[in-house]
A and B are shown apart, each in its own frame.
Chain A
Amino acid sequence: MLLDYSSSFHYVLALLPELVLTIWGMGVLLAGVSRKQGHGPGQETGWLALAGLALAAVANGWLYFGVSEDGAAAMIAVDRFRLFANWVFILGAGFSIVISLPYVARQRLQAGEYYSLILFAAVGMMFMAAARDLMIIFLGLELMSIGVYALAGFNRRDRRSAEAGLKYFLLGAFASGFLLFGIALLYGATGGTNVHAVAASIADGSAAGALLMPGVALLAIGFAFKVAAVPFHMWTPDVYEGAPTPVTAFMAAAVKTAAFVAFLRVFLVGLEGLHAEWSTILWWISAVTMVAGNVVALVQSSVKRMLAYSSIAHGGYLLVALVAANDTATSGMLFYLLVYTIMTIGAFAVVVTVGNQSEANARIEDYGGFGWRKPVLGVFMTVLLLSLAGFPGTAGFIAKYHLLLGAAESSLWVLAVILVLTTVVSYWYYLRVAWYMWMKEAPEGADSADPAITPFATHLVLVVSVAVILLAGVFPGAALDLAAGSLEGLRGLAAEAGAAAGH
């Protein structure tokens, strides 16, 4: 069906996945409260939350396959770009919940609040992907961030978790401030907050110059904070290390994806006309992020912290695509985000398991000989690490190659060379985990520290993610087409808006 935004009911339809998830999240909250204390580990609350995600996925599928919009630049986009991003969010949130199930039970966290916060954060992400208006992006960002602040500090009994929550909150609030200020300046310069109105205003030269560039710069800084780009990444390692591990997975994967998706729409659509200006700044941010993220990851002794820095490095790779700003790079970015979400959460699933559903055993020495003691988990982890490193045969390679292809298309050769050289650096620290797992002997008392059993749910996540990683690594055709098709609407509308402005 064709959406017609003159009817407010159609807005309800356009926001169906978000609405479903919001209502369901409240239900999960109530279910959690009504549970009697000490009655079981709260796993059913988690499964309830998963059911909500499944429903949201159905709604998203309906929008994806059955609905189109008339092309008017409404506040809420119903384009493939948003709906593709929604799949990633639903997947990321779902995986995070599944690996949380044993963790929450073991750590005796309040299941109702925990799972509903994940759902609300996912709603915020969806709004960020859907928004064609800077205000909606900001609302979505806040909705997501507040949920994640609470999640980062969720394990109250752990000092580091509390520290992570506070740190994330303070710096996140700072970043929101930058973003909001940037939006305000941009509004002052262009007279609109709709990205297409902004684009049109820039295209016809009516935007006021003095306010425009500071606004763009502040927006870039705000987003750079959220995607943890160097030098705005300082919060990341501490927060990632201190937060409960499943939450770290959620942050590294889904939160980063949401920030990138909004970044992409604002800069590629709204600020398309200023590409020459902002691409220079982002070129440097991207280069510095790749170098610093990878080099600092080299010296980490905690696997969790290593993955935190590696996620910074991945942010740098993704920024290359933003600088390139062509269709290949943009669809490559979407593909990368999907793959990155899957492999990151997969790797964290192993970290959760090795850590005995707690924050224990996170040092790299604890992985000594792990592969031979738990061969299945070891092989899974090895595949995921190779994929994170971008090694051929895995989806990580196809994704990284896709970014390189985009960079090459825009002749960003220096950035491409930095990307591959820092990738070599990353081989070292990813391989280091592999060599501890397979080539070193176990540390003292490792057998007793090992997880007795891997929970079924964690295995589920691992099997699915490894299967997808290998399948998409060998036969990437379908996934590539999906990502390429998701640009429809993003660029199309921008072109229309530009044409309209030109008349």
Chain B
Amino acid sequence: MYGDWILHALIWLPLAGTVHVLVSSAERAKNVAFRWSAFVFVLSLGLWWAYEPGDGGFALESSASWIEAWGVGYSLGIDGISVFMVLLTTFTSAIAILGSFEYVRTRRKAFYALMLLLEMGVVGFFLATDIFLFYVFFELTLVPMYFIVGIWGGERRIYAAVKFFLYTAVGSLLMLVAILYVYFASGTGSFGYDAFVNAGLSLREQLWLFAAFALAFGIKVPVFPLHTWLPDAHVEAPTPGSVILASVLLKMGTYGFLRFLLPFFPDAARHPVVVAVMLALGVIGIIYAAWVAAVQPDAKKLVAYTSVAHMGFVVIGVFALTLNGLQGGMVVMISHGISTGALFLLLGMMYERRHTRLIGDFGGIGRAAPWFATAFVITALASIGLPGTSGFVGEFLALLGTFETHMVVAAIAATGVIFAAYYMLPMVQRVLFNELDRPENRTFADLSRREMAILGPLVALMIWIGVHPTPFLERMEPSVQAVLERVEDARADAGHTLGGED
């Protein structure tokens, strides 16, 4: 029934939407695209119920042979980790498309076609359980994003687009070689997920392969010091591009950690040096990005750096290798997707009204546009991690999980929450409060109905997850537990693996 076709539909319907957009007129393109993405989102909602948290393995699995000669399958499946990523993708895609109605005024057909194509690639990435298929989708997302940034972006758009593309490509192509290594090492002639999990690699091999995979995903996350492409891409990208980039594309990296990196190379993942390095990079990312964010005059660049900080929380949560840490990391991923996406939308609305993103050009907006200010404040607080918002749940759990195994790391990372207030609140004050001293800010229009429709669900989600996260946590727990057990089990029979056939 629903479970039989939904995963395929989520991948191929956006492609159908792409074609539909291309054959419709430029005026109708945005409506067509929005309807398709909304349709896909509504369909995907069923996953919330269709996915039953059982033993944490894949559900709704389906598999067909694709390239028989190489053992490549078209295999899809969903578990407690990917179900949230897919829902986040379909949700933010629809929101981002709705949010680009005013922003994108040129070459609209191409724009909306690329947005839907991007959605297809990302959904496919999250659903693939075949490593070859996952790789294809991973790379496929690059092309639409490259053009979205490069064509509709700001002044330095080409530089940002190419940097984004090349950074990601370096990592992913090295990962391709690593994938081939595992493929041959497993000896099963299959690219299936299980074949890769049970490849029987020695610790030495795992460390090398871990490095290749971690580089690919680390660039995507981005982990400090691989993050330099992100501020450029975020600042130059058009609003919807930034939204998708922050909400979904960065999650591909952390999702890769959970889905591929830890289960494939458990011995490497719990190797003390590896853990220390990853935790250190996570903490540096949190602190460094917070400091850099605090001095940005450009609001969009500020938010871009907060992404690096938030993803740092995910990294420490994941590599703490505790249930709380992993779950916290997952919640930060979801929360960051929602709150940062909303922040970029709000900044986009500011830019549409004033054609500037400099914090200093605003002030006192709260009096001119109260609804706008309300949404802005809630979103900013969720981003900081105020109790009662989604950000708090995630960061708290991540820190708690880290504290269980690495107290010092948790203590340092916790200061990142304070720094978050330190960079975010002054911006809120300078934009919304202060004196309404500029005449052009007096006419700052409040939210239109379309904009309310965009921000409303986002704000509601931030509060829902903040107040009642249990439905989320219980859905992800078995799968997260499975990842953790995979790493733990490897610890149990580490002697076997170390002395195993090499």
A residues neighboring B (CB under 8 Å): 372, 386, 391-393, 397-398, 401, 404-405, 408-409, 413, 416-417, 420-421, 423-424, 427-428, 431, 435, 438-440, 476-477, 480-481, 484
| Chain B residue contacts of A428, Cβ below 8 A | 162, 166
Q: Could you count the A-B residue pairs with CB atoms below 8 Å apart for me: how many are there?
A: 76
| Chain B residue contacts of A421, Cβ below 8 A | 170, 173-174
- Can you list 29 contacts pairing A with B, beta carbon distance less than 8 Å? A392-B139, A392-B140, A397-B136, A401-B176, A404-B177, A405-B180, A408-B183, A408-B184, A413-B181, A420-B173, A420-B174, A420-B176, A421-B173, A421-B174, A423-B169, A424-B173, A427-B165, A427-B166, A427-B169, A435-B162, A438-B150, A439-B147, A439-B158, A476-B67, A477-B67, A477-B69, A480-B67, A481-B69, A484-B69
Given contacts A393-B140, A408-B184, A484-B69, contact A438 B135 (CB under 8 A): no
Report yes or no: A439 in contact with B157, Cβ–Cβ below 8 A: yes
| Chain A residue contacts of B139, Cβ below 8 A | 391-393
- The reply on B146 being an interface residue by CB < 8 A is yes
- The reply on B42 being an interface residue by CB < 8 A is no
Report yes or no: A409 in contact with B173, Cβ–Cβ below 8 A: no
Q: How far is the CA of A408 from the CA of B135 in the complex (A)?
A: 17
Among residues of B, the one whose C-beta sits closest to the C-beta of A422 is B173
Partner of A392, one of B135, B157, B158, B161: B135
Q: How far is the CA of A467 from the CA of B121 in the complex (A)?
A: 21
Report yes or no: B67 in contact with A404, Cβ–Cβ below 8 A: no
Q: Which 3 A-B pairs give the minimum distances between C-beta atoms?
A: A420-B173, A408-B180, A392-B136
Report yes or no: B170 in contact with A424, Cβ–Cβ below 8 A: yes
- The reply on B452 being an interface residue by CB < 8 A is no
Total B residues in contact with A, Cβ cutoff 8 Å: 31
Q: How far is the CA of A372 from the CA of B150 in the complex (A)?
A: 14
Report yes or no: A477 in contact with B68, Cβ–Cβ below 8 A: yes
| Majority-rule SS of A interface residues | helix
- The reply on B107 being an interface residue by CB < 8 A is yes
| Chain A residue contacts of B165, Cβ below 8 A | 427, 431
Residues of chain B from 139 to 165 with CB closer than 8 A to chain A in the complex: 139-140, 143, 146-147, 150-151, 157-158, 161-162, 165
Report yes or no: B151 in contact with A439, Cβ–Cβ below 8 A: yes
Q: How far is the CA of A345 from the CA of B287 in the complex (A)?
A: 52
| Chain B residue contacts of A438, Cβ below 8 A | 147, 150-151
Q: How far is the CA of A480 from the CA of B65 in the complex (A)?
A: 14
| Chain B residue contacts of A397, Cβ below 8 A | 136
Among residues of A, the one whose C-beta sits closest to the C-beta of B133 is A392
Residues of chain B from 171 to 192 with CB closer than 8 A to chain A in the complex: 173-174, 176-177, 180-181, 183-184
| Chain A residue contacts of B143, Cβ below 8 A | 386, 391
Residues of chain B from 457 to 476 with CB closer than 8 A to chain A in the complex: none
CB distance from B470 to the nearest CB of A (A): 39
Report yes or no: B177 in contact with A413, Cβ–Cβ below 8 A: yes
Report yes or no: A417 in contact with B161, Cβ–Cβ below 8 A: no
Q: How far is the CA of A435 from the CA of B236 in the complex (A)?
A: 15
- The reply on B48 being an interface residue by CB < 8 A is no
Report yes or no: B166 in contact with A405, Cβ–Cβ below 8 A: no
Q: How far is the CA of A323 from the CA of B304 in the complex (A)?
A: 46
Report yes or no: A409 in contact with B184, Cβ–Cβ below 8 A: yes
| Chain A residue contacts of B166, Cβ below 8 A | 424, 427-428
Report yes or no: B177 in contact with A420, Cβ–Cβ below 8 A: yes
| Chain B residue contacts of A480, Cβ below 8 A | 67, 69-70
Q: How far is the CA of A144 from the CA of B51 in the complex (A)?
A: 63
CB distance from B451 to the nearest CB of A (A): 29
Q: How far is the CA of A386 from the CA of B139 in the complex (A)?
A: 12
16 more A-B residue pairs beyond the given contacts A408-B181, A423-B173, with a C-beta to C-beta distance below 8 A: A391-B139, A392-B135, A392-B136, A397-B136, A401-B176, A405-B180, A408-B177, A408-B180, A417-B177, A420-B173, A423-B169, A424-B170, A439-B147, A439-B150, A439-B157, A480-B67
Q: How far is the CA of A391 from the CA of B176 in the complex (A)?
A: 12
CB distance from B120 to the nearest CB of A (A): 11
| Chain A residue contacts of B162, Cβ below 8 A | 428, 431, 435
